[in-house]
Amino acid sequence: MSNFVSQHRVTALLSATFITSSAWSKPPAGDTQCNVVECPAGSKVLSYATPSDPYFACPTAELSDYTVVVLGLTSFTYTMTGRSPNISPTTGEPEYEGKTADLITQYRVAAGVHTFDQAIAKCQKGKHGQKLVVANNPARGASAWVFIDGKPGGGFWVAKAHLNLR
């Protein structure tokens, strides 16, 4: 594992522990998040990210959904317990047992990776304030496929909670 990827993973996971999950946080725009309101294909949206509330732009919905679940559960655990979860040295994910562990495994397998490091190495850290257009917003899943406004093609999948209607 490269030091950059490992540092990136730890930064992302630790950042997520000191905030409430993006599913609960309120970006300045209010109730315009695409995980709360309809953002059908063709909708113009603005990306939302801060150093303490990051997201990843990924080439597949499965990779994006996996990063959303890992960051969200990490943040949720901190919010509910006041402590960061242990991070597995094997998978780079927060360590859970039972159904939560099974859920993370299902998302990791669907993403086609063995570790969180592998997933984020295939993605890019999301940027705040990007003007985007929704190309596909499946009813199921935590991510939408978007492209940069004025530059169709080369789309990427982003957490719906990090997209706000504009």
Tens of pLDDT, residue by residue over 6-17, are: 444 544 554 444
Dist. CA 122–CA 25, nearest whole Å: 26
**pLDDT band, very low/low/confident/very high, at 130 (cuts 50, 70, 90):** very high
Q: Residue 70: how many CB atoms within 10 A of its CB? A: 27
What's the total number of domains in the chain? 1
Cα dihedral value 53, 57, 61, 63, nearest 10: -80
Residue with tokens 């209607």: 165
Per the CB < 8 A criterion, the answer to whether 157 and 144 are in contact is: yes
Find the domain containing 44 and state its range. 3-165
pLDDT tens per residue across span 32-49? 899 888 999 999 999 999
What lies within 8 Å, CB to CB, of 68 at 6+ separation is: 55, 142, 143, 159, 161
